[in-house]
Structure 1
Amino acid sequence: MSPHPTLPGEVVADVADRAASWPVTSSREVFASGYLGVDVDVIQDPRGEEHHRVVVRPHGAVGVLAIDDDDRVLLVEQYRHPVQQRVLELPAGTLDVAGEQAQEAAARELAEEADVTAEHWASLLTLLASPGYSSEAFEVFRATGLRPVPADERTERLAEEADMQQWWVPFETVVSAVLDGRVRDAMTCAGVLAELAHRRAR
């Protein structure tokens, strides 16, 4: 590590997030549900000053970049009330089954949302969704060797998922849609661009 020759900051050869924990002098739960909790924490910085922080604590999440034999990506379209739009996304969901591993959750979500199973799985990347106010982390998996779930084993989709549609889109078209801002879901954008980076690195 050395000072940048002309700009503020340090020049480093490698980077990684680091574990750290400022003391929490008090914490108050203001909301709780089966999906998430919301706390108001008072934290103490290294100078001893206190700051109030709202922390949203959802379950972790997973997403699936499912790619068929013709290099098409599966996107699901569903209504998202907070943004009042029909949003194109990778099949995804929360880690809300006790003891379930991330890849198992991804496989479950792929089957539930798209009636598809996969033979081959690989982790593409893990992300912190919005660390300024949320503890949520998610992992995106690449899934290939796809097969349909038998009709008599398919999940009945409810609420917003009952109106969900599935689209198979050429990979390069999805990349363009992400870069043009036509597809904006954060997990979807991250997964697609991670896949693009992996392909270019090969």
Structure 2
Amino acid sequence: MTIKDAPEEWEIRATETPFVGNKTSVRTDEVVMPDGSVVRRDYQVHPGSVAVLALDDEDRVLLIRQYRHPVRQKLWEIPAGLLDVPGENPLHAAQRELYEEAHVKAEDWRVLTDVYTSPGGCDEAIRIFLARGLSEAEEERFAVEDEEIDLEYARVPVSELVQGVLAGELHNNCLVVGVLSLVAARVSGGVDGLRAAEAEWAARPFEA
């Protein structure tokens, strides 16, 4: 048996959207189960996201500390953002987020990993990039608002972040998955064996 996720779609008898928000919505589908029964499944419909594990020449990861209201915590995170435009190239979105949130650009980009954040209740797909060859962006700084007004920044060694993740001190999913994926890549062929920055992404198809 091949251990690989595969597309599949069960019959939907009816669907409705009881809530539509600014960026996401909630959908209710009546789904036919294998035994023929029909059950209701509520889930968040999400445009998708990108995140950037930006690694400098001293093996430090660029972090942002931001208030996240749903969990009532300030979390250390890696730069990330929504795919605002349907069909948007995720690499372009990631480059934009790195510039807007950290005023940084990168020369070398690879796909680190693709994940679903919570597939039992949300269809959000995230592509996490590895960015290297960092330098300060030359353009004017992006104007921030809302929670981003209070951002804090740090560059933290990869080894220290691994310890923080395993100790339960760091919780942001993109940071956790990104850092551990980087470590895994290094012990299984090296980061140069990672997928190209514009590799296909079935969860969120795009034009190169």
Separation (CA, whole Å) in 2 of partners of 1:121 and 1:30: 39
Answering whether residue 91 of structure 2 is matched by residue 103 of structure 1, we say yes
- Amino acid of the structure 2 residue aligned with 1:110: L
- Amino acid of the structure 2 residue aligned with 1:26: A
Separation (CA, whole Å) in 1 of partners of 2:48 and 2:86: 12
After TM superposition, give the deviation of residue 97 of structure 1 in Å: 2.8
After TM superposition, give the deviation of residue 156 of structure 1 in Å: 1.0
CA RMSD of aligned residues (A): 1.1
Considering only CA atoms, is the larger Rg found in Structure 1 or Structure 2? 1
Structure 1: give runs of 5+ residues left out of the alignment. 1-11
Separation (CA, whole Å) in 2 of partners of 1:98 and 1:18: 23
Answering whether residue 120 of structure 2 is matched by residue 132 of structure 1, we say yes
| SS in structure 2 of the partner of residue 201 of structure 1 | coil
Per-residue CA distance 1:109-166 (angstroms, 9 max, x = gap): 011111101111000000011110111110100001111123x511011100110111
Q: 2:68 aligns with which of 55, 80, 83?
A: 80
Separation (CA, whole Å) in 2 of partners of 1:51 and 1:163: 43
Separation (CA, whole Å) in 2 of partners of 1:35 and 1:193: 29
Answering whether residue 75 of structure 2 is matched by residue 66 of structure 1, we say no
Residue range with higher mean Cα deviation, 141-150 or 98-107? 98-107
Runs of 4+ in 1 over 3 A off after TM superposition: none
The aligned counterpart of 2:42 is 54
After TM superposition, give the deviation of residue 100 of structure 1 in Å: 2.3
Separation (CA, whole Å) in 2 of partners of 1:57 and 1:201: 35
Q: TM-score, structure 2 length as denominator?
A: 0.88
Structure 2: give runs of 5+ residues left out of the alignment. 190-208
> Alignment length, in residue pairs?
189
Answering whether residue 158 of structure 2 is matched by residue 167 of structure 1, we say no
Residue range with higher mean Cα deviation, 93-102 or 47-56? 93-102
